[in-house]
Amino acid sequence: MIPQSSPELLKRGARYFIDLKLFFSMKSVFSKKVIEVVKKISKGHTMSYKEVAILAGSPFAFRAVGNILNKNYDKRIPCHRVVRSDGSSGGYNRGSLQKMKILKKEGAL
């Protein structure tokens, strides 16, 4: 059994905490970039999850873009304007039918 006061254990714990803190700070930086990109999509236009990921600085993080947008409930962020690369609507936290309805109303479809 390793004693709780073991310097090596404390060192590993501190390193784990720092790595975890860095991970979450990086995630929030990327999230902020995604939100800033999406805010700039004008009415009547769409952008793919991949295009948003590229503009946010992580070209292969298109699934992360979807996860970030799925957690957004701020109506000032037009998440509904982000669609799949194949042109289909993709997900929407208020329902895909609602997303299509809004996009049609805005003239994006």
pLDDT at 109: 84
Q: Is the pTM of this model over 0.95?
A: no
Bridge partner list, 82: 47
Tens-place pLDDT, residues 15-62: 555 554 555 555 688 999 999 999 999 999 999 999 999 999 999 999
Question: Which one of 68, 79, 82, 103 is the catalytic residue?
Answer: 79
Tens-place pLDDT, residues 87-105: 899 999 999 999 999 999 9
Was domain 7-106 assigned CATH 1.20.1250.20?
Answer: no
Residue ranges per domain, the chain? 7-106
Identify whether 79 is a catalytic site residue. yes
pLDDT band at residue 7, thresholds of 50, 70 and 90?
A: low
b/e per residue 39-55 (b: at least 16 CB within 10 A): eebeeeebbbbbbbbbb
Taking the C-alpha atoms of residue 79 and residue 70, their distance in angstroms, rounded to an integer, is: 8
